[in-house]
Amino acid sequence: MIDSLLISQIYVLDQDAALDFYVGELGLEVHTDQDLGFMRWLTVCVPGHPERQILLERPGAPSLDDQTAAQVRDLVTKGATGGHLFFSTQDAYKTHRELAERGVELPEEPTEQPYGIDFGLRDPFGNHIRIAQLKEPTA
């Protein structure tokens, strides 16, 4: 049976800008950055957790025709592609403060939720990110 989630994918409009944000600002690390010729295979992961990667894929030809790619870009920037990443942290307030110090755009303060304390933000393209300090360990 299935026993783990290895790679999830989100669309980013520019892979260099995505690296600046996800690695430079959010603090993830590069897992793989390889030019396969037909595409740049770019994955990041939470430091210390290489077993779960996020593929940062650029929508475009030949994977998508130009018109479809334009539609995807339109939806990403409207926040409508379903690019959601949900991270955990030991201390939501501290993480929020540290991200603010790095200049990350933070539209929300940490908020008490039924499941813990969390806050949301977006990557430069419109994908949604949520960072939560859960009440119970994620196991």
Partner 1 sequence: MTGVFSSREDQNRRLLRARDAMDAAYAEPLDVPALARIALMSPAHFIRTFRDTFGETPHRYLQRRRVERAMFLLRTSDRSVTDISVEVGFSSLGTFSRTFRDIVGESPSAYRLRGPLPAVPTCFVRAWTRPRDGISPPSTPSSFGEAGRASAG
Query: Contact residues for partner 1 (CB under 8 A)?
Result: 13-14, 17, 70, 73-74, 76-79, 84, 86, 105, 107-109, 111, 113-115, 118, 120, 122, 124-126, 128, 130, 132
Nearer to partner 1, 50 or 111 (CB): 111
Nearer to partner 1, 27 or 79 (CB): 79
State in angstroms the smallest separation of the CB of 53 from partner 1.
Answer: 21
Nearer to partner 1, 8 or 50 (CB): 8
Residue-level length of the chain: 139
Q: How far apart are CA 52 and CA 137, in angstroms?
A: 18
**Inter-residue contact 24 to 14 (CB < 8 Å):** no
**Listed residue (106, 104, 132) closest to 23, CA to CA:** 104
Nearer to partner 1, 41 or 113 (CB): 113
State in angstroms the smallest separation of the CB of 18 from partner 1.
Answer: 10
State in angstroms the smallest separation of the CB of 1 from partner 1.
Answer: 24
Instruction: Report the amino acid identity of residue 40.
Output: R
- Peptide bond preceding 62: is omega within 30 degrees of 0, i.e. cis? yes
Phi, psi of 52 (to 5 degrees): -135, 110
State in angstroms the smallest separation of the CB of 109 from partner 1.
Answer: 8
**Listed residue (72, 79, 64) closest to 13, CA to CA:** 72
